[in-house]
């Protein structure tokens, strides 16, 4: 029997659908002008909590279909780019006794913040313009550093 998805998973999928992502397993992909946005919901190997991995693939380096977040040129976690990472942690911590509707509402809020960041990530120029808000909170490969310098 398939376990019904929990509120974090269903909210994540719903956000992806609403924002033009295609889903493969726990990873969402959105094709953008010069980048591929990759957002992944990762369960902790010890259970009880989730992480949201955020990554961008730069098409100028090479074309890719559905790269894993770890293969991407620009990588971060949602907790690195939101205003209140501790509150996000509480939302993603499934053992807390937060009501589902509240958890859903708060997670949507954080994912909507991500929506606006990713709206400015479609081109190299947009990424350069958003260095402080987004790029400076990411890990960049050598190729990404060259393209974005």
Q: What pTM did the predictor assign?
A: 0.93
> Which residues of 1-149 form beta strands (DSSP E)?
22-24, 27-31, 35-43, 50-58, 74-77, 139-140
Residue 1 reports pLDDT greater than 60: no
| 13-35 residue pLDDT tens | 999 999 999 999 999 999 999 99
Contact between 108 and 15 under an 8 Å Cβ cutoff? The reply is yes
Rounded (10°) CA dihedral 12, 17, 23, 26: 0
pLDDT at residue 4, as a whole number: 65
Task: List % helix, strand, coil for the chain (3-state, nearest 5).
Answer: 40, 25, 35
Q: Is pLDDT above 70 for 75?
A: yes
| Predicted pLDDT at 143 | 95
Look at residue 3 and tell me whether its pLDDT is greater than 70: no
Q: 38-62 pLDDT, tens per residue?
A: 999 999 888 889 999 999 999 999 9
Residue with the two structure tokens 């947009």? 126
Inter-residue long-range contacts of 110-114, CB under 8 Å, 24+ positions, other chains counted: 110/52, 110/78, 110/82, 111/11, 111/12, 111/15, 111/52, 111/78, 112/15, 113/81, 113/82, 113/83, 114/39, 114/52, 114/54, 114/78, 114/81, 114/82
Q: For the purposes of burial, counting CB atoms within 10 Å of the CB of 42, is it exposed (0-12), middle (13-18) or buried (19 or more)?
A: middle
The predicted-structure confidence for 83-128, as pLDDT tens digits, reads as follows 999 999 999 998 888 999 999 999 999 999 999 999 999 999 999 9
């Amino acid at each position: 029997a398939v376990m019904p998805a929990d509120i974090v998973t269903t909210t994540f999928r719903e956000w992806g659908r609403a924002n033009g992502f295609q889903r493969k397993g726990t990873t969402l992909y959105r094709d953008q002008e010069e980048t591929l946005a990759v957002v992944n919901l990762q369960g902790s190997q010890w259970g009880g909590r989730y992480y949201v991995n955020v990554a961008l693939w730069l098409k100028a380096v090479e074309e890719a279909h559905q790269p894993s977040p770890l293969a991407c040129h620009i990588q971060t976690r949602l907790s690195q780019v939101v205003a209140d990472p501790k509150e996000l942690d509480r939302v993603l911590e499934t053992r807390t006794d937060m009501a589902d509707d509240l958890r859903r509402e708060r997670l949507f809020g954080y994912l909507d913040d991500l929506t606006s960041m990713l709206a400015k990530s479609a081109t190299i120029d947009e990424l350069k313009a958003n260095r402080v808000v987004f790029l400076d909170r990411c890990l960049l490969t050598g190729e990404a550093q060259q393209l974005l310098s």
